[in-house]
Structure 1
Amino acid sequence: MPDYISTSRLIDLSAREVHELYKLRVDIFVAEQTTPYAEIDDIDAESTTWHLLARKDGSLIGTARVFPRGDDCVIGRFAVAPDHRGSGVARQLFEEALKVAAERAPGRDVVLEAQAPLVDYYAGFGFEAEGEPYDDTGVPHQLMRLKRS
């Protein structure tokens, strides 16, 4: 379990925190999952994007981002360091992301793009699959929605 989870906009993070955030995401999404794509995008720097950072003993062990898109609120870039998977960090981090979505975008549905093996995990939080599965850089994904309205 993390010692704490902070929520900040990118501009409010220190250079070291931004480095840790990007390193964790690139290590997981690009290196571990072997999906070469533009991991760092302009959404990260938007003033309406909130980054969640889970820390244990001072080290970054998990992250997610929450941002509005149209009439929805999106949770994405959800990642937990390999040596902390199965420890409850993911659940705690995701529950916090849901709270941030409810606070920052009240009444909006929450959507996410789940990797296919995680569809049942997100369904456990009340998300429902929407549309057909699709390929995203060689990884099967499913759009999922949690209705709030």
Structure 2
Amino acid sequence: MHTLIAAHPLAALSPLEVHKLYKLRVDIFVHEQRCPYAEIDDVDADPDTVHLLAWDVAGRQLLGTARVFPDGARLRLGRVCVTPSARGTGLSGQLVEAATGLAEGRDVVLDAQVPLVAFYRGFGFEPVGDVFDDEGIPHQPMLRVAASEA
């Protein structure tokens, strides 16, 4: 399967792409994980928010997504999800790498579901602060410090 990861603000996406983005996130976070929080929020439409969309090039199917946006001087990564059919293929890692590639010398923060802490450690993130509950799912704040330039 050949995938392409595209990065765009919401305003640059077609109506069909926006629909696919939100449908995937609702399918994963609301239905699969049973988190009834407001999945669509104002951060999505902020012009500084970048949505990463991982497409199956042949079938034009959206396989995964993530979003990044400024959080003070840092970049915040969130809403990382992959369709069940694409899990175990390394696509989540590709999304994280693409997202951290947008950091441009900034630290990156995220709130990882506790079972995924080791996964994010593999990309240079380290736990910071205390575990907290978000809609019944324990989350660990994590930080990836920007690489120092020699």
Q: TM-score range by the shorter chain?
A: over 0.9
- Counterpart in 2 of 1:123? 121
Secondary structure, counterpart of 1:40 in structure 2: coil
C-alpha distance 91-39 of structure 1, shift in aligned 2 (>3 A): same
Q: Structure 2 stretches of 5 or more lacking a match?
A: none
Say if 1:2 and 1:54, in contact at 8 Å, map to a contact too. Answer: no
Say if 1:2 and 1:89, in contact at 8 Å, map to a contact too. Answer: no
Q: Deviation of residue 3 (structure 1)?
A: 2.0
Say if 1:62 and 1:78, in contact at 8 Å, map to a contact too. Answer: yes
Secondary structure, counterpart of 2:36 in structure 1: coil
CA distance in 1: counterparts of 2:55 and 2:105, whole angstroms: 29
- Counterpart in 1 of 2:133? 135
- Counterpart in 2 of 1:55? 55
Under a length normalisation based on structure 1, what TM-score does the superposition of the two structures give? 0.94
Listed one character per residue, the Cα deviations across residues 86-116 of structure 1 (whole Å, up to 9, x for unaligned) are 011111121111112x2xxx22210001000
User: Which among 66, 73, 92 is matched to residue 94 of structure 2?
Assistant: 92
Letter in 1 for 2:66: A
Under a length normalisation based on structure 2, what TM-score does the superposition of the two structures give? 0.93
CA distance in 1: counterparts of 2:2 and 2:19, whole angstroms: 19
Q: Deviation of residue 2 (structure 1)?
A: 4.6
Q: Structure 1 stretches of 5 or more lacking a match?
A: none
Listed one character per residue, the Cα deviations across residues 20-67 of structure 1 (whole Å, up to 9, x for unaligned) are 000000000000001111000000000100000001121000000011
Identity fraction in percent:
56
CA distance in 1: counterparts of 2:10 and 2:92, whole angstroms: 21
Alignment of 1:60-79 (within 5 A): 60-79=62-81
CA distance in 2: counterparts of 1:38 and 1:2, whole angstroms: 32
Q: Deviation of residue 6 (structure 1)?
A: 0.6
CA distance in 2: counterparts of 1:59 and 1:51, whole angstroms: 16
CA distance in 2: counterparts of 1:35 and 1:138, whole angstroms: 8
Residue 3 (structure 2) pairs with residue 21 (structure 1): no
Runs of at least 4 residues off by over 2 Å: none
CA distance in 1: counterparts of 2:112 and 2:93, whole angstroms: 15
Letter in 2 for 1:137: E
- Counterpart in 1 of 2:7? 7
Q: Which has the higher helix share?
A: 1
CA distance in 1: counterparts of 2:49 and 2:141, whole angstroms: 20
CA distance in 1: counterparts of 2:84 and 2:123, whole angstroms: 22
CA distance in 1: counterparts of 2:79 and 2:88, whole angstroms: 18
